[in-house]
A and B are shown apart, each in its own frame.
Chain A
Amino acid sequence: MTDHTVGPGVSGGLPSYPSTRASDPRTAEAALAIRGLVKQFGEKTAVDHIDLDVPVGSFFGLVGPNGAGKTTTLSMVTGLLRPDEGRIFVAGGDVWADPVAAKANMGVLPDGLRLFERLSGPELLSYLGRLRGIPADEVQRRIEGLLDVLDLTSAGSKLVADYSTGMRKKITLAAALLHSPSLLLLDEPLEAVDPVSARAIRGVLSDYCAGGGTVVFSSHVMALVEELCSHVAVMADGRIVASGELSAVRGDAASLDDAFFHIIGGQDRGTEGLSWLRSSRA
């Protein structure tokens, strides 16, 4: 056990582990492996005993309706929310028992969290790169490359507080890529992003995946998942209801959208109750 193990004596800590490595050999082969993960908020079980294996080099989409538990799952995987039960392995190392190795391997883009708003984009990246121990000139070289590819060079010394939504997603993605991690965890990376920024982000992610990196991202947009992903997992009510290669999950359905609707047991609702909406101005 390392120095950083969260032991039972620590307030809110997990039970002590027999080892920071998993006994199941499959977890060492996967880029990300989740076993029996549970999170409860009061009476509500947000994540209910989920297991998931994300193969190395895959582009993995996590889809599900609002409130399905996608963000909660990703928050626990990234070390930002403590699980009630279960274990998470990144490249075979336990995220919560051995966070040092896991965090060096992960790049994270959460949804709805702020950045250091009063720094400019290049300042933010320089700060985070140097905090991770990358030499200043190397950080500078990487920043120039990332800003150029993500079309943020023109933002110059503008503060992050003045960035648009698309620019914020792009600078957060740049921060996630800066230390060249082997796994990217992205929560709604293309939500509320303009088409030009979305194209830049998609291009970077596809290249990253082609280079051997693994991407896990959550999204509501089925067309996007269908276009980008090699694998997909569908979440509903805190559980994984389907998981595997995209073609297997889609099955015979015309589109992933239809398959998703069928898997989560959705029902088309009639609009008869709204007849007044088109027939009257009163």
Chain B
Amino acid sequence: MVAIFASLKWRLVTSRVRALSPGKRIQTIIGLCLALLAVGAVAYALSTLRSVPEAGYLAVTGLFALQFVAWTLTPMVAFGVDETVDPSKFALLPIRPATLQRGLLVSSVVGYLPTFNAVILIGCAIGLSFLGWMLPIALLCVVLQLVTCVVFSRAAATSMATLMSSRRGRDLGMAVGFGVLVVYMLATLGLNSGSSAGLGAAAHRTAEILSWTPPGALASLPFQIATEQWGRAAASAVIALVFLGLGWFWWARALRKSLVTVDSDTASSAPSHGIGGASAIGGTLLGTAQVVAGRDRTLMWRDPMRRMPWLISIFMGVAWPLIVIPGEGAIFASAFGALLMGSQAANQFGLDGSGLWLHLVAFGDRVRARGELLGHNLAVLVPAVPLVVVVTAAVAAIRGSWDWFLPAVAMNLAIIVCTAAIATWLSVVVPYAVPQSRKSMFASSIAGQRSASFRSAFGSMLLGLAAALPVIGLGVLGIVIAPVWSWAALVVALVYPPVLLMVLLRRAADQYLSRGSEILAVVTAGDRA
């Protein structure tokens, strides 16, 4: 039975490659080989740590802990990556839970990611073995580490299967995913900001604490045996094995429960409290724009799929200049936030998915088509423009760079509006589908349309920046030559980008009217993802 599971997983993995066209298959295989080479290089680097026993022990302890956290959190952030994760798919088959559990364990270690993990773990095992006879012990430890990761990942996935099969559960998963991203970024920034001497001491302290956790215990076990710390070694072995046993028990319980309970959570969302812009009436350009902007504003707040990019943009817009970039020049780093927020106007039709039909059957005239696009832009620019100005002012105040406030704010205004203008135009020229019931905060495009989503997202940012160059140039003159150029930059920033927006918006609206049905066909693919 276990062999059937392994062969099933192998078929799933290889059939994805077989289903590709010959060109893409070769690309994929080359990509996988390159990835394996890169992973092999990391493993080799880790293996060289055996010449510096202490460094090897420190690095591997941290790596094991990180690996364990990543495996356990993955189901929450990216549930649905693996077809065999959802236990309800096996509920109707006549298999005993214990057999199923063993089968799933084996199938879990078949695949690209487990293979890459195994290669890195072998590197770790060599890195830990500064004495030759330690290698078998280290290898046993890395096998246990991989099994522990898989068992806890599966236990978490199984426990959450019911939750993640419901819309509310997926909403929660996205919120937790965002929390993880923020904590990760802050932790990385915190580590990077320390001095190198402080970092060494901190790493020692962290490794000492981590060595009492199960993954850390496995990483430090060979070192403890080699240095004859028998008491600590025994404690580490007990910690690791008991933890693995608990994980196995948790998984077994979750599996039994998921096989006999209904696979859905019927909890509904909080009731709505009214739609934005409820007094606006469509028909005219501004009226239609207000109606559409009101709906967008409501959905931006209510729909995690729309809310999450905003949260990330705002977080990056604030964190980048204030936390990452030191000194007075940070004020120009606020342009990053402007760029991200301007690009929120990208793929305006993909976000609605096949719901776009409601707009297509409602009107067929230019005025309302322009009104719809203007509405989408207002929903982005009305909150984003003041926000960027406030962030720029805050950075100027905190870092004492008021001299550069004028050119910086002019550049940011130009970047945000120009990016929105280009994004609006690309929404019509390169529309792409967005998975409508997405199970991961990072899944923003579907197979077969990745190129379109890449062109749209990066095209908006690069062309947006290029379109803002006249204002950026005047701003640079204001800094380098004379402040009067900064005033010129501000005046141009207040006139030129809105004109560009209206010109591109008119072109986009005309194309939207003539290509509406083709755009609908493209974005409808998101329903099936």
Contact = CB atoms under 8 A, between A and B. Distances in A.
A and B are partners in one complex rather than unrelated chains: yes
B275 A127 contact: yes
Given A79-B360, A80-B361, A126-B278, A120 B366 contact: no
Contacts of B436: 114, 117
Interface stretch (A21-29, A51-59, A128-136, A244-252): A128-136
Interface stretch (B204-212, B288-296, B396-404): B288-296
Interface string B484-516: 000000000000000000000000000001111
B272 A99 contact: no
B274 interface: yes
Among A3, A102, A103, A133, chain B packs the most CB atoms within 10 A around the CB of A133
Contacts of B302: 118, 159
A159 B295 contact: no
A224 interface: no
A119 B272 contact: yes
Interface string B253-286: 0000000000000001101111100111111000
B281 A136 contact: yes
Contacts of B361: 78-80, 103, 106, 108
Interface stretch (A5-13, A42-50, A260-268): A5-13
A13 B362 CA distance: 20
B174 to A, nearest CB: 13
Contacts of B515: 10-12
Given A119-B275, A123-B274, A79 B291 contact: no
Interface stretch (B113-121, B134-142, B214-222, B348-356): B348-356
A202 interface: no
Chain B interface mostly? helix
Contacts of A119: 272, 275, 295, 298-299
A4 B512 CA distance: 12
A130 B281 contact: yes
Nearest to B514: A10
Given A79-B361, A118-B302, A126-B275, A158 B268 contact: yes
Contact of B272 (A10, A79, A120, A134): A120
Contacts of B353: 114
B521 interface: yes
Interface in A154-185: 156-159, 161-162, 175
Contacts of A135: 281
A103 B269 contact: no
Interface residues of A, number: 46
A103 B364 contact: yes
A127 to B, nearest CB: 5
A213 interface: no
B82 interface: no
Contact of B517 (A81, A102, A116): A81
A157 B271 contact: yes
A131 B291 contact: yes
A240 B287 CA distance: 43
Contacts of B359: 131
A110 interface: yes
Nearest to A5: B514
Contacts of B520: 80
A82 interface: yes
A82 B355 CA distance: 18
B299 A103 contact: no
Nearest to B301: A118
Nearest to B266: A162
Nearest to B518: A12
Interface string A88-129: 000000000001101100101010111111111001001110
A116 B299 contact: yes
A110 B527 CA distance: 15
Contacts of B363: 100, 103, 131-132
Contacts of B357: 80, 108, 110, 113
A156 B273 CA distance: 11
Contacts of B283: 132-133
B303 interface: yes
B298 A131 contact: no
A4 B365 contact: yes
Among B280, B302, B517, B524, chain A packs the most CB atoms within 10 A around the CB of B517
Contacts of A102: 364
Contact of A130 (B282, B364, B517): B282
Contacts of A133: 281-283, 287
Among B282, B359, B520, chain A packs the most CB atoms within 10 A around the CB of B282
Contacts of A162: 167, 268-269
Interface in B332-388: 352-355, 357-366, 368
B499 to A, nearest CB: 23
B366 A4 contact: yes
Contacts of B365: 3-4, 100
Contacts of A175: 358
Contacts of A112: 354, 527
Interface string A127-149: 11011111110000000000000
11 contacts: A4-B366, A100-B365, A113-B357, A114-B353, A114-B355, A117-B355, A123-B272, A127-B294, A132-B362, A159-B271, A161-B269
Interface of A: 3-4, 6, 10-13, 78-82, 99-100, 102-103, 106, 108, 110, 112-120, 123, 126-128, 130-136, 156-159, 161-162, 175
Given A81-B517, A162-B268, 9 more contacts: A80-B360, A103-B364, A106-B361, A113-B524, A114-B436, A123-B274, A130-B278, A159-B272, A162-B269
Interface of B: 167, 268-269, 271-275, 278-283, 287-288, 291-292, 294-295, 298-299, 302-303, 352-355, 357-366, 368, 436, 513-518, 520-521, 524, 527
